[in-house]
Amino acid sequence: MAGAAVAVTDTTFQKEVLSSSQPVLVDFWAAWCGPCKAVAPIVEEIARETQGKLKVAKIDVDENPNMPQQFGVMSLPTLIVFKGGRAVERLIGYQPKARMMQAINPYLA
């Protein structure tokens, strides 16, 4: 589906996120996490609306423990904006869409 979030893993994180020419919003989530389920449709909506300006990625922390550990993810969901291979913005816990966009907009092309 056009503009949908891409699933990334510990293995593909470097290529998909850190080496991306576009800013990337990464959703660190887990299947058992209630707030993660609440954030998921908002993240998908942002993926569609910012297509071409922002890449949106999701990483399941249970299946991929290395990247969350590397970026100090302690709570779920954690949304991190990466630009130029660096974490530039971090949102922890459920956030309304307006707050997410406020964090993302400064980094959009």
Q: Where are the domains of the chain?
A: 6-92
| pTM score, whole prediction | 0.96
Q: Does the pLDDT of residue 27 top 80, yes or no?
A: yes
pLDDT at 109 exceeding the cut of 80: no
Residue 32 has pLDDT above 60, yes or no: yes
Instruction: Give me the residues paired with residue 68 across strands.
Output: none
CA gap 38, 54 in Å, rounded:
21
pLDDT exceeds 50 at position 107: yes
pLDDT digits (tens, 9 = 90+) for 44-99: 999 999 999 999 999 999 999 999 999 999 999 999 999 999 999 999 999 999 99
Residues catalogued as catalytic: 33, 36
pLDDT of residue 92: 97
Q: Is the pLDDT of residue 1 over 70?
A: no
Q: What's the topology of domain 6-92?
A: Glutaredoxin (3.40.30)
Starting at the earlier edge strand, list the strands of the sheet with 78-83.
Answer: 6-7, 55-60, 24-29, 78-83, 86-92
